[in-house]
């Protein structure tokens, strides 16, 4: 196990910059997830840590040693890719033991290491099978087993579950998290799936356009997003965002005057001057639904999406300049009671952003 340091790292392909200066410290034994949309630079950063991409500028260290100029084989890391990359002519035992045989490890030691790894991953009954006789989930476990037997300083995962169906992804998420708890190994995991990020990470690194947007625990990013990008990317369904201008210098009168519609009481004063353009965010599950004619914002239910656990409601405010919102409720009857509703905005659930950055209430 080892800590990983990333300092001022930049990456360009010819004249096209991909990473614009990344600074990040990953503690020994920590599970960090790099999450963001396609093209944000997360896989490029992972490949630079692995030594598969050159560093244009900056430094990367593993266990306190600068590794910029080290070959991948000398960095003592193990990588699990999106593609399983198993040797088709070898059985499970052969695939898992291959790197140890290359190192000329003693046969009895290889057997012990491979057996222990197979037991952790539930591969014991499959050791004589070849990859073509395995399911997708079993192949991914073999790929992880091949990484585990190397006993590296760090594990790097590059979207390892992308090729699996939804049920297998759910199963494998649990297996990866349990594996990390058992091994306690430093791990960096890349994904575009925010559910994977939320369920697996000790800390999430949210990235966009080659920059780190926010670093924190899953609930820190969910409860207090640093900017509009994080607010919209973390959470499913995504956060509702309304635009308008701020008015009021005291909690009693502070409100958001919508660009298209009435004002929404904020219940708390913010350190802003009257007329400041702001964005107001509220998560779908925090919208309060009540019968039409109430004190809230009038809306109509346009579409209902039952999920089993709860119901996603697509809402539209009346008028020519209507606002589209999403609500989420556990009350199955709420959608069928009436198509016309009033929406409440609890002050403690509101997020205010100015120029896309989060603003905290005045103390």
Long-range contacts of 131-138, Cβ-Cβ distance < 8 Å, separation of 24 or more: 131/84, 131/86, 131/87, 131/88, 131/95, 132/88, 134/92, 135/168, 136/163, 136/164, 136/165, 136/168, 137/164, 137/168, 137/171, 137/172
Q: Residue 337's pLDDT is what?
A: 57
C-alpha–C-alpha distance, residues 107 and 146, integer Å: 16
Q: What is the pLDDT of residues 97-134, one digit of tens each?
A: 998 998 889 999 999 999 988 988 889 999 999 999 99
In 3D, which of 229, 211, 215, 214 has the Cα closest to residue 20?
Answer: 211
> pLDDT tens digit string along 188-226?
999 999 899 999 999 999 999 999 999 999 999 999 999
Taking Cα atoms as reference points, which of 212, 217, 214 lies closest to residue 200? 217
Of 23-37, 160-174, 310-324, the poorest mean pLDDT is in 160-174
State both tokens at 299.
């809306």
Region of 186 please: left (phi>0), alpha (psi -120 to 50) or beta. beta
Across 311-337, average pLDDT = 85
User: How many Cα neighbours within 13 Å face the side chain of 79?
Assistant: 18
Write b or e for each residue in 220-258: b if 16 or more Cβ atoms lie within 10 A of its Cβ, otherwise e.
ebbeebbbbbbbebbbebebbbbebbbbbeeeeebbbbb
User: If you average pLDDT over every residue of the chain, what do you get?
Assistant: 91
- What's the pLDDT at 151? 85
Strand 31-35 to 186-191 pairing: parallel
Instruction: Give me 117's structure tokens.
Output: 């790894």
Residue 10 pLDDT level (bands cut at 50, 70, 90) = very high
- Surface-to-core class of residue 343, CB atoms within 10 Å of its CB (0-12 exposed, 13-18 middle, 19+ buried): buried
Query: Is the pLDDT confidence value at 49 over 60?
Result: yes
- List beta partners, residue 325: 315
Report the DSSP beta bridge partners of residue 240.
Answer: 282
The answer to whether 231 touches 239, Cβ cutoff 8 Å, is yes
Tell me, what's the pLDDT at 184?
87
**Confidence category of residue 264, pLDDT binned at 50, 70, 90:** very high
């Amino acid at each position: 196990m080892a800590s990983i340091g990333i300092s001022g790292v930049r990456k360009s392909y010819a004249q096209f910059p991909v990473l614009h200066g990344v600074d990040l410290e990953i503690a020994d034994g920590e599970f960090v997830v790099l999450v963001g949309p396609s093209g944000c630079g997360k896989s490029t950063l992972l490949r630079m840590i692995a030594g598969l991409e050159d560093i244009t500028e900056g430094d990367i260290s593993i266990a306190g040693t600068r590794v910029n100029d080290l070959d991948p084989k000398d960095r003592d890391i193990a990588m699990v890719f999106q593609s399983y990359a198993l040797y088709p002519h070898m059985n499970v035992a052969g695939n898992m033991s291959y790197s140890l045989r290359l190192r000329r490890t003693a046969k009895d030691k290889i057997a012990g290491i491979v057996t222990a790894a197979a037991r952790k991953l539930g591969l014991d009954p499959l050791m004589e099978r070849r990859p073509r006789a395995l399911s997708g989930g079993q192949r991914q476990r073999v790929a992880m087993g091949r990484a585990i037997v190397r006993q590296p300083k760090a594990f790097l995962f590059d979207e390892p579950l992308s090729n699996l169906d939804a049920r297998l992804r759910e199963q494998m998420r649990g297996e990866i998290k349990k594996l990390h708890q058992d091994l306690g190994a430093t791990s960096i995991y890349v994904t575009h799936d925010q559910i994977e990020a939320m369920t697996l990470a000790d800390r999430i690194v949210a990235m966009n356009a080659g920059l780190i947007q926010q670093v924190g625990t899953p609930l820190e990013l969910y409860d207090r997003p640093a900017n509009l990008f994080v607010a919209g990317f973390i959470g499913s369904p995504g956060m509702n965002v309304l635009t308008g201008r701020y008015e009021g210098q005291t909690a009693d009168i502070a409100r958001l005057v919508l660009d298209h519609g009435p004002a929404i009481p904020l219940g708390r004063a913010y350190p802003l001057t009257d007329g400041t353009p702001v964005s107001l965010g509220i998560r779908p599950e925090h919208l309060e639904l009540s019968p039409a004619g109430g004190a809230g914002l009038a809306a109509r239910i346009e579409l209902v999406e039952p999920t089993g656990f709860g119901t996603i409601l697509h809402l539209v405010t009346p008028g020519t300049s209507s606002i589209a919102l999403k609500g989420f409720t556990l009350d199955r009857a709420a959608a069928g009671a009436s198509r016309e509703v009033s929406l409440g905005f609890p002050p403690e659930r509101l997020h205010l952003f100015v120029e896309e950055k989060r603003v905290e209430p005045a103390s």
